[in-house]
Amino acid sequence: FLFYLSYRDVKIKTIAAFNNEQRIMARQAAREIQSFFTEYAISLGYLAKHKNIIDLDQAGKKLIKEFYNQHPGQIRAITRIAASGRIVYTIPFVRRAIGRDVSHQAHNRRIMEDHRPLVGEVFMAVQGYRAVAFAMPVFKDHTYRGSLSILVPFRQIAKKYLADIRLGDSGSAWLLSSKGIELFCPSPGHAGQSVFKTFASAPTVIAMAKKMIKGEPGTTVYTYERKRGNVTRTVTSHAVYLPIELPDNFWSIMVATPEDQVLAAMKFFRDAWLVLILVAFTGSILLTLYLFKAWAIVREEETRRAAEQVLRESEEKYRMLVENANDLIFIVQDEVVKYANPKAEKIFGCSLAELKSKPFIEYIHPDDRDMVPAIHRRGPPGEKNENLYSFRAVNEKAEDVYLQISSRLTTWKGRPATIILARDITELKRAAREKKKLEGQLRQALKMEAIGTLAGGIAHDFNNILAAIVGYADLAKDELPAESRSGKRIDEVLKASGRARDLVQQILAFS
């Protein structure tokens, strides 16, 4: 019974520590997804206030097309919808979509009623595919004039932020919309389906999903049937879930790990404890060996790798946003900076005139110059360098600045040039290193606490056993002649028991 109570206590603490690690990973992924939509909220908000977009003249259509081209892989379409709910323009251009009434779609109906930015539910777009819409209202003189929406490929976006989330070999992440649609699931064929359909036979999963679509955070244990080949087995998993706040909506993220993996370290504790109880009667030497063996096994578990950080891709801003952009924007011609926005001047600590004073390549850290591709080659305007890469730059103070860039060929004053969009990721690099350090410290502290609890329980139980051995040995010695051979052997037993008691005190000090 004492063994069961101690084992249960360590098990509870182990699960709590594991759930805390899962919660850290879920919060990090939630922040990255929120940042994705925040960046688009800023961009769409700016576009929606632009006169050419409001009136949708040729310049406005060009802005919409340029915005779409600047975000390859992140949006599938961008659409301007009139106040009546009819599509007036869309990129990629689909002729049959123009004039279509989409006011019946839930997100369009809501924005027509509330006039607030929103992230909608998964729906079938008129373009013929399932997506999630991010809609921004358009006003003119405080009068609602329709909306500007982007269609987000939810499978790709969710996979980008969640596919690599796992603790150990078989953990996974799960993303639900507020209506219970699986935006990401490691099970093939589940993405885009209702969780109440795909997990209809798993009541514990359904119970968790009901809490998730209410926007509740929490932890839970659920079971489901997993089939691999011809073998089906019941899997019990420990999960942490929390909401992701989005414009006028929310999603919910869940990180889960099978129980057998969560409690893998507990197997070593349980086995070591049983062996120690059996060998306690044979002497303190064997007991010591087993204790140190169990301790060494636990120490091996401290080498878990930290989760990999994901760096966001930088985006090129179109000309109208250059002066207010939070990213660095250069125009390089003949290997010399011809234009730099205020952000670039601030990061490099010098004016445009000073930036022009030496070749652009000299602002790149000497160790990274070989990895930077030839971005100044001649070619037709608008051609994009598809490589997205980062390198270290050196400002006027000789400080290293980490930049992530993409580039596009253009013309400057009638001659070929290159426009470069760069993002300062120095703080992200520093934060990633600090995060990795803190997670390692947290994991080590939790495991050492569990070891101390186990060691203390073992020491108290063994001390009770030693008390019985010493007591009966003293009684036996009193009943024997003083110089008998058996009495001397009992003295050896008492000496060994004394050494064992000293060892128990050392273990108690460790706990």
Please write the tens of the pLDDT for every residue from 146-155.
999 999 988 8
pLDDT in tens, 126-149: 888 889 999 999 999 999 999 999
Q: Could you tell me where the DSSP H helices lie in 220-341?
A: 259-262, 264-279, 284-300
**Out of 3.30.450.20, 3.40.50.1240, 2.130.10.10, 2.40.37.10, which CATH number does the structure's domain 156-262 have?**
3.30.450.20
| Angle separating helix axes 485-510 and 284-300, nearest 10 degrees | 20
Non-local CB neighbours of 58 within 8 Å, separated by 6+ positions: none
DSSP H or E segment with residue 118: strand 118-124
Closest residue by Cα to residue 442 from 28, 15, 18: 18
Q: Is 312 helix (H, G, I), strand (E, B) or coil?
A: coil
- Residue 465's Cα: distance from chain center in Å? 49
Residue 231's DSSP bridge partners are 228
* pLDDT band, very low/low/confident/very high, at 117 (cuts 50, 70, 90): very high
- Best mean pLDDT range from 259-263, 328-332, 434-438: 434-438
How many whole angstroms separate alpha carbon 100 and alpha carbon 88? Answer: 8
Burial class (CB in 10 A: 0-12, 13-18, 19+), 417: buried
Whether the predicted pLDDT of 352 surpasses 50? yes
For 383-429, the pLDDT digits (tens) are 555 456 777 777 666 677 777 777 788 888 888 888 887 777 777 87
Given this model, what pLDDT does residue 142 score?
A: 92
User: Which ranges in the chain are annotated with CATH 3.30.450.20?
Assistant: 38-153, 156-262, 319-424
Strand partners, 391: 403
- Which tokens is 160 given? 């980008």
Gyration radius from the chain CA atoms: 32
Length of the chain: 511
CATH number of 319-424: 3.30.450.20
What's the pLDDT at 304?
Answer: 55
pLDDT recorded at residue 111: 95
The closest of 260, 48, 235, 213 to 136, measured between CA atoms, is: 48
User: What is the reported pLDDT for 377?
Assistant: 46
Q: How far apart are CA 422 and CA 405, in angstroms?
A: 4
What are φ and ψ of residue 361, in 5° steps?
-65, -25
- pLDDT bucket at 2, cuts 50 / 70 / 90: low
CATH of domain 38-153: 3.30.450.20
Q: Write out pLDDT tens, residues 475-487.
A: 887 888 777 788 7
Sheet holding 336-340: strands in order across?
336-340, 328-333, 415-424, 400-412, 384-394
CB burial of 449-469 (b: ≥16 within 10 Å; e: otherwise) equals ebbebbbebbbebbeebbeeb
Confidence of residue 6 (pLDDT cuts 50, 70, 90): low
The answer to whether 97 and 87 have CB atoms below 8 angstroms apart is yes
pLDDT at 308: 52
pLDDT band with cut points at 50, 70 and 90 for residue 309 = low
- What residues pair up with 340 in beta bridges, in sequence order? 330
